[in-house]
């Protein structure tokens, strides 16, 4: 008769179950503190366990559902970490630069409108038989050029 070694299997199963539970609890804590949305599927992926295993753990499932239903404030301030957020002085400088660029473009636009009006006026007063100087001359093709 063989010796009864089932206690080794039982002990290995118990250790595996404890490790699985520790992974799931740690994943749940990470998700809760990071502000990630907590769902059973996301928890299963994060912990490396099956969804059915989580559904079989009433306390973990209840905690995941509680975290899922918690009100999460959604503000623009939380979207960008403090170290990446622009300072007030930086934003003011960007606004001043943009305002200056707009003024320059308005001046340039006014100059171009004036130049266009003068060119159209010159064209209107030009003699009828003479084409304006900015009109391209028509090309006349000769038989030697078509080959």
What is the rounded distance in angstroms from the CA atom of residue 49 to the CA atom of residue 41?
10
Q: What pLDDT, in 10s, does the model give residues 91-115?
A: 999 999 999 999 999 999 999 999 9
Q: What is the pLDDT of residue 82?
A: 67
Q: Residue 50: CB partners within 8 Å, gap ≥ 6?
A: 44
Q: What is the pLDDT of residue 25?
A: 92
Q: What is the pLDDT of residue 34?
A: 83
Q: What is the pLDDT of residue 3?
A: 80
**Which residues of the chain have a pLDDT value below 70?**
72-82, 129-147
Each domain of the chain, given as residue ranges in start order, spans: 10-72, 87-124
Residue 43, classified by CB atoms within 10 Å of its CB into exposed (0-12), middle (13-18) or buried (19+), is buried
Residue 129, classified by CB atoms within 10 Å of its CB into exposed (0-12), middle (13-18) or buried (19+), is exposed
Q: What is the pLDDT of residue 97?
A: 96
Q: What is the pLDDT of residue 138?
A: 63
Helix extents (H) in the chain:
6-34, 40-47, 51-55, 58-69, 76-79, 88-125, 143-146
Q: Whole-prediction pTM value? A: 0.46
């Amino acid at each position: 008769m063989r010796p009864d070694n089932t206690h080794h299997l039982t002990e290995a199963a118990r250790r595996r179950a404890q490790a699985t539970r520790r992974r799931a609890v740690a994943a749940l804590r990470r998700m809760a503190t990071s502000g990630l949305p907590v769902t059973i599927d996301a928890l299963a992926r994060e912990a490396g366990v099956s969804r059915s295993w989580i559904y079989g753990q009433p306390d973990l499932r209840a905690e995941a559902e509680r975290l899922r239903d918690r009100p999460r404030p959604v503000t623009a301030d939380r979207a960008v970490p403090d170290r990446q957020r622009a300072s007030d002085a930086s934003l003011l400088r960007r606004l001043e630069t943009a305002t200056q660029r707009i003024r320059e473009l308005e001046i340039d636009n006014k100059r171009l409108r004036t130049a266009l009006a003068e060119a159209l006026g010159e064209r209107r007063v030009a003699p009828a038989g003479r084409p304006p100087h900015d009109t391209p001359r028509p090309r006349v093709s000769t038989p030697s050029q078509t080959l």
